[in-house]
Amino acid sequence: MSKAKKITVNKMSKVTTIVVILVGIAALGVLATNNICSNCPSSSSTGFIGNSEADGNKLIVNLNADNFNMTVSKGVVLVDFWARWCQPCLIQAPVLEEVAKKISGKAVIGKINVEYSASLANRFAVQSIPTLILFKNGVETKRLVGVHSKDVLIKIINSEICGEN
């Protein structure tokens, strides 16, 4: 290959690389915006958030200082402490949607955005997110930190419902 062809190929490789990087950055920006916005707290007064709001199934309760005590005081409630900028939290969100569908009527799934409810995060000494706390009749019975599978979450909820510890 002649020297002129090598220079042209090298320039084209660099240009191609730059274009691919720029397209990738733009695509990531679009994906991040869609993921973050689908998990942002709803501005509605219903107290329910997530994809469930769009289809009318009120599966996950948006918790805050006003409704937290009343919500966790009765039955089994799994509370997710999260933030919209937290990538593991965004990974956990669709899993919680699946869990909410599976356990609907047996337990409640709630979410607390730590950006807006820092007092609740402090009250329960949440230091990492996502933190999932399971309550039974207002008492913390189990705490999980990090992302967990649907099967693990359903198992701990069912064991609490059945009274097995």
Active site residues per annotation = 86, 89
Distance between CA atoms of 162 and 110, rounded to whole angstroms? 20
How far is the first Cα of the chain from the last one, in angstroms, to the nearest whole number?
Answer: 73
Q: Where are the beta strands (DSSP E) in the chain?
A: 60-62, 76-82, 108-113, 131-136, 139-145
Q: Measure the CA–CA gap between 164 and 115, rounded to whole angstroms.
A: 34
Buried b (16+ CB within 10 A) or exposed e, 70-83: ebbeeebbbbbbbb
